[in-house]
Amino acid sequence: MMYVHYEQAVEAMTKGLSRFMCSENAKNFAEIFAGNSLDGIYSHGMNRYPRYISDMESGICNPDVTEAEKVGGYGALEVYDAHFGVGPLIAEQMTARAIELAKAHGIACVALRNNSHWLRAGRYGLMMADAGLMGICFTNTCMNLTAWGTLEPSTGNNPITFAIPREKGSLVMDMAVSQYAYGKLEIMAQEGKMLDMPCGYDMEGRPTCDPKAIIESGKMSPMAMWKGSALSIMLDLCASMLSAGRTSRVIGLPADGEKGMSQAFIAIHPAAVVDMKAVQAQMEETIEFLHSLPPMAGSRGVHAPGEGLDRTRAKNRENGIPVTEETWARILQAEKENVQKIASKF
């Protein structure tokens, strides 16, 4: 593991991305990768950069498309088509539109079809919460999860995020429906670490704690068995219904390339209907109650989701963002290839 300062990471990734898009979009995209890692979400930050470069090279993601097209709407419900463009840039556009609609109507839902991987769901929920809104965002994925009752990859590890505005720092819960996000498995495999419990199956269908074996087989199991499986299936169907987009079955297996996800961005404006000062006071009382609970052996006690975000950002700003040597080498290689390509034109 090594440590890279945020500005250094943004500069290197911007250079690598600039052969695919204009400098402004390249920098914005680089800031999303680095920002996610800065927040401690390493599995959906810089770790994903090499894969995105590959997706743009192969055509899975079209780097020429950075804005979605509106294809339908009714009141505060709107539907957009991403046309397989740059997922995180388009997701930020959809989040901004959901915020705008919610502030006008009290609640809004923006549905999106045919998007590329949006990286970290929590980023878009936090955008809403930092704007004073409650946020609910979810997406489907390729079939990288075994539905309960089969050993075949058959549903998506479909992430969902809930975010709540808070004066002391917005709260955010960001989770996929497996015990570990797929990106986390990749990092642990790079580091040679084992999982703390079986979270998938090897090629022979045996439960395993080896992340490399799960990645090889593509057979990750849902959290909470049948409950996680049911949540995955419903998120998939809700996202595809709202957007008239692809289900995980249509997106296909990971080997096919993760292309054309269906996503939903829901924003709620609580201040339009409730006394936020009273609500915030009650929320703080609840959080203080959780803090007061005696911790069980080996734990740090109870905290609300996202409470430590500001501390993580500050630590990574000061010390640098932790990244594996393998990932950083691939980031620098993309930067080098772009520099060579530019030089060859002269």
Q: Is the dihedral of CA 234, 238, 76, 267 positive or negative?
A: positive
Phi, psi for residue 222 in degrees, rounded to 5? -75, 150
d(CA 45, CA 293): 33
Q: Does the active-site annotation cover 269?
A: no
For residues 75 and 98, is the Cβ–Cβ distance under 8 A?
A: no
Sequence-distant (≥ 6) Cβ neighbours of residue 151 within 8 angstroms: 201, 205, 219
According to DSSP H, which parts of 131-225 are helical?
A: 182-191, 211-217
Phi and psi based region of residue 149 (left: phi greater than 0; alpha: psi -120 to 50; beta: remaining): left
Residue type, 283: M
d(CA 126, CA 338): 33
- From the list 204, 237, 198, 203, the residue with the least C-alpha distance to 221 is 198
* Tally: H helices and E strands in the chain: 12, 14
Q: Out of 5, 44, 269, 291, which one is annotated catalytic? A: 44
C-alpha 46, offset from chain centre: 12
Question: What 3-state DSSP class applies to 195?
Answer: coil
So which residues are the catalytic ones?
A: 44
